[in-house]
Structure 1
Amino acid sequence: MPRRRGAASAIGIAAGAVGLIALTIGAATAATAVFFARKVVTPPERREEDVRIARVDLAAGEITLLASDETRMRGRYGLWFDRDTGHARLGDVIDDGEREVRRPIESVDFGRLDRATRGRMDGYYHLGPWELDAPYENVVVDTELGPAPAWLIPAADASARWVIQVHGRGATRPETLRAVQPARDAGWNSLLITYRNDGEAPESEDRKYGLGGTEWVDVVAATRFAVEHGAEEIVLMGWSMGGAIALQAVLRSAEVRERLVGVMLDSPAIDWTDILRFQGTLNRMPPELGDLVVRVLGGPLGAGLTGIAAPIDVLELDPVARADEFDVPMLLMHSVDDGFVPIDGSRRFAAARPDLIEFEVFEGPRHTKLWNAEPERWTGLIRSWLERRDSLAPATFGDEAEIVG
């Protein structure tokens, strides 16, 4: 009975909050804003299978997909199918027709691809560190919520330099495997971490994302682990929301800054207001919806509406507004054709600190798929940037606010 009364109370609070918002912006718009606010902070239980499979010819080693922005992407990708019970790897486009796209099948790792009708493509490509030509360890990072699993992949030679990899929203640590080899080539260890509510690390009480405002604490714990195991110089690398998490760790933790010598960002979530506006337009909603979602997340009734433990002040998460507080070099990579996180936030961040930020603009790749489309360029950027760490100084990038490839 106490639990039922508590649930009823929470529902009542949420309903009342929606009613208050509806008085000022309209019932339909209010409901939509609340829906999107919940969606952005709730870890997905299942990823949408948005790729239609037309034909599979295992004998010829080819697959035909219905044409879309995703299936037309250049490069190599993983393909999950049958609700993530099957996985294959696809090569670059062979034939790009008006209605169908043909790609080579590089491998079928598990599952019956010949029976699949739908799937989803991702940029991970690698399933785990066991696929890399390098030793690795399964390790545990002690966080305030409990033990969080991580992969430690050491450099070829003993090194006190560590790159801590922070994956993005709705992703898992295999997303960051693509950066391991260039880091090893440059003489850096790699620690691929998990963080709260990502499906592997311990859950927070509300089981919701904080958009970087809560997860950064787990990066502090990872930094502590690295230092305890010999790290003297640390670079944080964040992907998508992982970029937001990494930047919040830099801004909020003296412990992180003590050993920090650089930050690398792949398709980072810089400006959440801008991202939410963009997502609204993708869903055929007015751009103003993003501003309403920001109000829901940050308002005093945000917890009742979304289930978050505390309101999220999106403006406080904007690194551009606090750009003068950063003091380490950064490598920032983003695509103008990202399709999920607009590049505008990265442009503003790079323009705010051209003395620190080397900004590499890609054209064509979609969100966090820069390696897939241009592996040599992307790998070379990371390797050379890490190799130059001894010589990198703020003045190095003074005249290079944007480098277009």
Structure 2
Amino acid sequence: MMGSRRAGAAGASPAAATAAKTTIAALAGALGISLAALGTVSMRVARRVVTPAGRVPDTELLAVDVAAQTLTLSRTPDTELPGRYGLFTTGTASYVKVGAVLALDQSSVKRKLLTQIGTDDRLSAAAAFSGWYYSDPAELQLSYHSELVGSSLGPCPAWFFPAADEAGEPSDTWVIQIHGRGTTRTETLRAVPVFHAAGVSSLLVSYRNDGEAPRSRSGTYMLGATEWRDVDAAIGAARRRGARRIFLMGWSMGGAIALQVALNSAHRDIIAGVVLESPAIDWRIVLDYQAHLLRIPGPVASTAVRALDSEWGSRVVGLNTPIPFDRLDVVARAAELRHPILILHSDDDGFVPADASYQLAEARPDLVELEVFRTARHTKLWNYDPERWTTVIREWLERRRSAADS
């Protein structure tokens, strides 16, 4: 029987052999197409990660009641939050402020308007809900001026809010505020009052490729791997102007930048501490979470991350150098940290999961304090509960001052 089987196989007809070859070729072709498609989609995802982009609408403006000064938005986990927020739109106004939730149902939320809207105003239905709230530094009613911070790429615009110490003299303690991905220094205005009240001068900086500071050759984000140098230049400028203690505060991707400054700066000796609001501490966790959120297949997402971290992939995406995810993983580098860190993060962040914040607090309980909010979403902790947010930062600053004086 065995012999007859071998003979039968050996004696297959030419037509059968041709059909088998055709099938194998078709399968190989299909596999090649699938791999090519995987690579193409992965590169698109990778480019999206590092390409600066404008604000994307995330809610719909359903109605405006001019008489009652209210507006109705489509309901999302963000638009239903209590507190004060901003709304980016287009039309006769590009930005309006909203206050308390007045009513809500399964699909919509009615909120109080805090910006006066008239009968002649027309607002676009496409809108973006924001935690910025303040849209101009003058709204804080504090003394400030605009200035330029010199960096290796050129001058980076900044706002400086001087504060006075207990003796009424110009404070030699500063905080440098670092905004997040896809935003500008305006995002950080919310934090100026708490530091000003504590006698800390605030420098709100811009950095390469954020739309205000100079553009790098590639014009892409490096997720903190190069942006930190512009912030380090700001520390140097502050030091030359008499700053003796400097705090860093980073928001979202600004948190990743702040941590890279703390780890790499030549001015580490005058860094007094770091405050992180909804920070990106491990980009692999962030990108994996966002891929899942956007229903991007796992192989596509993992290929995109590998591309960003490789010589070949970075060239395809348009980067000058690969993104060093290992170096940006501060949980893995926790032993290198030397400065006190305060993290404020919400469990329902929705954009940058709090996992790495928990991990960093567990890895360095001697340095890291983690203040967890349950329902405040991404970089909206001040908006959701300004009293708690302000108290946590004020008391942390007081502890840092006591430690410095002892």
Question: How far apart are the structure 2 equivalents of 1:318 and 1:113?
Answer: 47
Specify the SS of the correspondent of 1:231.
coil
Question: How far apart are the structure 1 equivalents of 2:240 and 2:92?
Answer: 37
Shift of 1:86: 1.5
Contact 1:87 1:108 in 2 (8 A): no
Once the two structures are superposed, the pairs formed by residues 102-121 of structure 1 within 5 Å of their partners are 102-108=110-116, 114-121=122-129
Q: Which of residues 68, 87, 95 in structure 2 aligns to 1:79?
A: 87
Question: How far apart are the structure 1 equivalents of 2:92 and 2:391?
Answer: 32
Deviation readout 1:318-368 (Å, 9 max, x if unpaired): 011111111111111110000000110111111110000010000111111
Residues 1:248 and 2:260 aligned together = yes
- Corresponding residue number in structure 2 for 1:140: 148
Q: Which amino acid in the other structure matches residue 285 of structure 1? A: I
Number of equivalences: 370
Question: How far apart are the structure 2 equivalents of 1:32 and 1:280?
Answer: 12
Greater Rg, structure 1 or structure 2? 2
Residues 1:66 and 2:78 aligned together = no
Q: Provide the identity percentage.
A: 47
- Corresponding residue number in structure 1 for 2:306: 295
Contact 2:72 2:108 in 1 (8 A): yes
Contact 2:69 2:116 in 1 (8 A): no
Contact 2:91 2:123 in 1 (8 A): no
Question: How far apart are the structure 2 equivalents of 1:245 and 1:36?
Answer: 22
Question: How far apart are the structure 2 equivalents of 1:204 and 1:149?
Answer: 15
- Corresponding residue number in structure 2 for 1:401: none
Residues 1:186 and 2:195 aligned together = no
Shift of 1:306: 0.9
Question: How far apart are the structure 1 equivalents of 2:147 and 2:204?
Answer: 10
Q: TM-score under structure 1 normalisation? A: 0.87
| Structure 2, unpaired ranges of 5+ | 1-30
Q: TM-score under structure 2 normalisation? A: 0.87
Structure 2 vs 1, CA of residues 111 and 208 (structure 1 numbering), >3 Å: closer, same or farther?
farther
Q: Which amino acid in the other structure matches residue 246 of structure 2? A: I
Residues 1:206 and 2:218 aligned together = yes
Structure 2 vs 1, CA of residues 287 and 373 (structure 1 numbering), >3 Å: closer, same or farther?
farther
Deviation readout 1:59-88 (Å, 9 max, x if unpaired): 101101122223212211111111795211
Shift of 1:305: 1.9
Contact 2:92 2:122 in 1 (8 A): no
Specify the SS of the correspondent of 2:106.
coil
Contact 1:261 1:329 in 2 (8 A): yes
Structure 2 vs 1, CA of residues 363 and 25 (structure 1 numbering), >3 Å: closer, same or farther?
farther
Q: Which amino acid in the other structure matches residue 190 of structure 1? A: S
- Corresponding residue number in structure 1 for 2:234: 222
Any runs of at least 4 consecutive aligned residues in structure 1 with deviations exceeding 3 A, and if so which? 22-25, 108-115, 286-290
Q: Which is worse superposed, 76-85 or 146-155?
A: 76-85
- Corresponding residue number in structure 1 for 2:385: 374
Deviation readout 1:276-309 (Å, 9 max, x if unpaired): 1111111112345432222010112123321111
- Corresponding residue number in structure 2 for 1:47: 55
Contact 2:143 2:162 in 1 (8 A): yes
Residues 1:283 and 2:291 aligned together = no
Q: Which amino acid in the other structure matches residue 73 of structure 1? A: L
| Structure 1, unpaired ranges of 5+ | 1-21, 394-405
Contact 2:66 2:119 in 1 (8 A): no
Specify the SS of the correspondent of 2:255.
helix
